[in-house]
Every structure is written in C-alpha cells, then in structure tokens.
C-alpha cells in the first residue's frame, strides 16, 4: 500500500515540464512507488494553494438572497448598516463562512485569514461560528480567525473584554481598526490591542484606512509597538492606504520602518482606494499579501473570492501589464500571503505541504490575465476539486 500521488506533466509556477510527487502529505523527491496513484496534468501550471489573507467570512450573504444596498457613503454609514443587517437578517456566521469557503475552494483557496466581528451587540457569537467552521474544514481549508472590533474598541465599552473572550474561545489573532478616525484615540487603541497580543502570545492584524499623514502617524505607532514587544514577523497592517498617499521620501521612510520590523502589508488593490507602491514595498523586502475583503455582503455587493483573479486586480490597479509584473502579483497571492499570515512549509519544493492548484495556461502571466477555470485542487495528496468539480466527501454545507 502506498499513499503516494504522482502528478505528471506539470509545470510548477509555469516553469519546465516535470512530475511532482506527494508522499505522506508532503512534496517529495522521486517518482513514487510502483502502483502509486497518478494524474496526468497535461502541461497545466501548478501553483501552491492560494492564500486569502484578508476576508470577512462571517458576513458574506452568499445564498441569502439579494441584499438591497441603500447604504450611505461613509465608513460609519457602512458599519451601522452592517450591524443592522446582522440584527435583521440573522446572518449565521457558521453557515455563511462555510458557504464562502466552499465557493472559493474550486478556485484553489486553501488558506484563509478571516477577520471576524466582535462587538457589544453580537458578542463573540461570530467567533464561535468561525471556530465551528474551522473545525469542520480542518485539514481541507485552513482558517485563521482574527478577533475584529469592527465597530470600534474603546468607543464602545465592553468590547475589549469581548476581544479577550474571543481569544479564549479560539481566535488566533488580535485585530484592530482605525485607531484615530474610528476609535478616536490612536495610542490607547494600539496599546490595548498590543497588550492583548502580548499577554496571549498572538499576532496582530490591524485595519488601517487612516489617510495621509494621519495614517503615517498611526503606522509609526504600530512600528514602535512591534519593535518594543519584539513582534517582528507577527504584525500585519491591512489596507494601509496612507502608503499610497504620501510623497516619495515620506513613503520610503515608512517602507523602511515596515521592513525593519518585518511588518507585512495586506492590500486588496481596490479600484477606488489609493494604490499601494507594490514594487517599492517588495523591493524593500516588505512582505505583501492580498485578499478579497468582504465578498457579497453589505459593504460590497460583488466578489468571487478567487485569489488568482485578485492577482489580476492588483496588477490592473497598479497599471502593471508586463509578464514579470503579473508573476509578481501571482507571488503576492501565494507566497506573499503565506509569509504574511505565517504559514510554514509552504510551496512546491520537497518537504513542503503537498497542496497545489492546477490551472490551464501557457504561462503564469497568462493564468493571471485570463484566470482559467476548471482547476484541480489537491491538499496533502488528496483531491478536493477535480477539473472544477468539488469532491463528494467534503463537509456538507447548508
């Protein structure tokens, strides 16, 4: 008996044709034992499992009927509409997160970091829902849970205690949001979440939409705290629009500070928000990850959650059209994401987890540009999706 899986005629990251062997759940050298299972990839490209580094699994409305969006234009309008929808629509975080995971699995999304709302109305119900979903998909799709104070932390009494409760209930990461414009006190907001992270030994992931110099100041405060608490490689800043709003010299100084503390940046490449300097960030050694943000919810009505398509969006937002540019954005949605959310043994090299996505394309750049469908997704040597069709032995989703 052998549990080897040999993937023949495959092109890792669009490179030369080869075979890939998965043994005991990991990539291995060699061509496998006699009688091993085989699949002919017919020249398809192999990517490691796609990494969704920033979404909101608990709030998608997939399968719940159309939500008529009449929400006002400010972030606060949206936060209010969001809480109202949770009350009135009864969004079940467990069910909805499972729906999104099953929607994005055929694309090859095998690793997901989800921010999950914690507030004084719903308490930690959504975190509990996500903990259940995480368990249901264990070994299939990895889910990281960020306890996320969407409605503010200090401005809403009791939220901080709920954040702590969320960590005890199983949240993996301490979240934060706009310490100035939403929470109205950048220093105390950041002190609170970094103290929590320090006490529980957890990483930090902060939504930072603050514009221009205000954002830069908050970013500096984050850098100072990462340094003081030796959290190098354990802090991510999501969105960080300020990096796309400042002059070159100021931008460069912030980028250097991020690199020094190994703080990762997550950007979705939104067409209507400032574009981040992807090339400069990566050249300076800053880890850049990407994500879909919320899909099909009250914030934004669209979103498929395909991280290969996301690589295209990143390139489009940055006016990048060359093949090497598209290879870079593909890297952001795979290796960048993996480094950003702290995955180990990620990739297609021997010893790495045997996770991969097969996609039909001549080159990696073509895969980003044309987003081939009907992919095959393999996790630890097990087929989760074959030519776009989900396996029948996956968790049942209502």
Helices 212-228 and 248-260 cross at an angle (nearest 10°) of: 20
Give min distance, CB of 265 to a copy of itself, in A.
Answer: 18
Please count the other Cβ atoms lying within 10 Å of the Cβ belonging to residue 88. Answer: 8
Instruction: Tally DSSP H helices, then E strands, for the chain.
Output: 12, 17
**For the purposes of burial, counting CB atoms within 10 Å of the CB of 70, is it exposed (0-12), middle (13-18) or buried (19 or more)?**
exposed
CA 329 vs CA 269, 285, 346: distances in Å: 11, 15, 17
Which position has the token pair 């010893």? 351
| 64 binds a copy of itself per the rule CB under 8 A | no
Work out which of 25, 170, 301, 395 binds a copy of itself, going by CB under 8 A: 301
**Nearby residues of 225 by Cβ (< 8 Å), 6 or more positions away:** 190, 191, 194, 231
CA 149 vs CA 39, 63, 104, 372: distances in Å: 46, 26, 25, 37
Structure tokens at 345: 């043994």
Please count the other Cβ atoms lying within 10 Å of the Cβ belonging to residue 13. Answer: 18
Work out which of 1, 29, 35, 70 binds a copy of itself, going by CB under 8 A: 70
Using the minimum distance from each CB to a copy of itself, give the nearer residue, 91 or 226: 91
Using the minimum distance from each CB to a copy of itself, give the nearer residue, 137 or 313: 313
Binding residues for a copy of itself, rule CB under 8 A, total 36
| 69 binds a copy of itself per the rule CB under 8 A | yes
Using the minimum distance from each CB to a copy of itself, give the nearer residue, 2 or 69: 69
Give min distance, CB of 113 to a copy of itself, in A.
Answer: 23
Using the minimum distance from each CB to a copy of itself, give the nearer residue, 28 or 370: 370
| 16 binds a copy of itself per the rule CB under 8 A | no
Gap between the Cα atoms of 109 and 101, Å rounded: 8
Specify the stretch interacting with a copy of itself by CB under 8 A; choose among 96-104, 176-184, 233-241, 292-300: 292-300
Give min distance, CB of 145 to a copy of itself, in A.
Answer: 26
* 8 Å CB contact between 350 and 24: no
Using the minimum distance from each CB to a copy of itself, give the nearer residue, 70 or 398: 70
Give min distance, CB of 326 to a copy of itself, in A.
Answer: 7
> Vertex 110, ends 108 and 111: CA angle to 5°?
135
Work out which of 202, 312, 353, 379 binds a copy of itself, going by CB under 8 A: 312
Which position has the token pair 């500070």? 257
Give min distance, CB of 134 to a copy of itself, in A.
Answer: 27
Encoded one letter per residue, x for contact with a copy of itself by CB under 8 A and - for no contact, window 251-290 reads ------------------xxxxx-x---------------
| 248 binds a copy of itself per the rule CB under 8 A | no
Using the minimum distance from each CB to a copy of itself, give the nearer residue, 63 or 123: 63
Work out which of 252, 316, 331, 380 binds a copy of itself, going by CB under 8 A: 316
Please count the other Cβ atoms lying within 10 Å of the Cβ belonging to residue 351. Answer: 10
| 201 binds a copy of itself per the rule CB under 8 A | no
Return the beta strands (E) in 232-273 as ranges: 235-239, 264-266
* 8 Å CB contact between 159 and 191: no
Return the beta strands (E) in 231-284 as ranges: 235-239, 264-266
Which position has the token pair 């699994």? 57
Q: Which stretches within 38-184 are classed as H helix? A: 75-85, 93-104, 125-136, 159-169
| 80 binds a copy of itself per the rule CB under 8 A | no
Give min distance, CB of 361 to a copy of itself, in A.
Answer: 8
Give min distance, CB of 367 to a copy of itself, in A.
Answer: 10
Give min distance, CB of 78 to a copy of itself, in A.
Answer: 9
Encoded one letter per residue, x for contact with a copy of itself by CB under 8 A and - for no contact, window 357-386 reads ----xxx-xx--xx----------------
Give the residues lining the site for a copy of itself (CB under 8 A).
Answer: 65-66, 68-71, 73, 269-273, 275, 296, 299-302, 312-313, 316-319, 321-324, 326, 361-363, 365-366, 369-370
């Amino acid at each position: 008996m052998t549990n080897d899986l040999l993937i023949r005629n495959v092109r890792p990251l669009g490179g030369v044709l080869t075979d890939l062997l998965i043994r005991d759940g990991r990539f291995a050298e060699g061509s496998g034992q006699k009688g091993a299972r085989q699949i002919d990839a017919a020249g398809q490209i192999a990517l490691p499992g796609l990494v969704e580094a920033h979404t909101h699994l608990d709030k998608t409305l997939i399968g719940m009927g159309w939500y008529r969006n009449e929400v006002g234009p400010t972030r606060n309008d949206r936060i209010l509409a969001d809480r109202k929808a949770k009350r009135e629509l009864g969004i079940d975080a467990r069910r909805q997160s499972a729906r999104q995971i099953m929607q994005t699995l055929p694309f090859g999304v095998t690793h997901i970091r989800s921010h999950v709302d914690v507030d004084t109305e719903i308490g930690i119900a959504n975190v509990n829902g996500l903990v259940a979903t995480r368990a249901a998909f264990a070994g299939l799709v990895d889910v990281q849970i960020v306890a996320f104070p969407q409605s503010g932390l200090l401005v809403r009494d009791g939220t901080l205690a709920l954040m702590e409760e969320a960590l005890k209930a199983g949240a993996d990461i301490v979240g934060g949001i706009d310490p100035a414009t939403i929470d109205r006190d950048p220093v105390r907001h950041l002190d609170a979440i970094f103290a929590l992270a320090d006490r529980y030994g957890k990483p930090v992931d902060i939504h930072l939409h603050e514009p221009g110099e205000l954002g830069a100041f908050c970013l500096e405060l984050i850098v100072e705290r990462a340094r003081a608490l030796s959290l190098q490689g354990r802090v991510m800043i999501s969105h960080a629009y300020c990096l796309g709003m400042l002059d070159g010299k100021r931008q460069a100084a912030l980028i250097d500070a991020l690199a020094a503390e190994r703080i990762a940046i997550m950007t979705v490449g939104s067409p209507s928000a400032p574009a981040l300097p992807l090339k400069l960030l990566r050249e300076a050694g800053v880890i850049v990850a990407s994500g879909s943000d919320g899909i099909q919810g009250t914030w934004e009505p669209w979103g498929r959650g395909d991280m290969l398509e996301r690589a295209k969006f990143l390139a489009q937002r940055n006016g990048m059209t060359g093949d090497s540019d598209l290879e870079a954005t593909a890297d952001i949605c795979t290796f960048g994401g993996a480094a950003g959310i702290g995955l180990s043994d990620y990739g297609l090299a021997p010893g790495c987890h045997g996770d991969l996505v097969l996609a039909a394309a001549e080159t990696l750049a073509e895969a980003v540009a044309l987003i081939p469908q009907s992919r095959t997704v393999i996790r630890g040597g097990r087929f989760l999706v074959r030519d776009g069709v989900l396996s029948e032995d996956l968790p049942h989703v209502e």
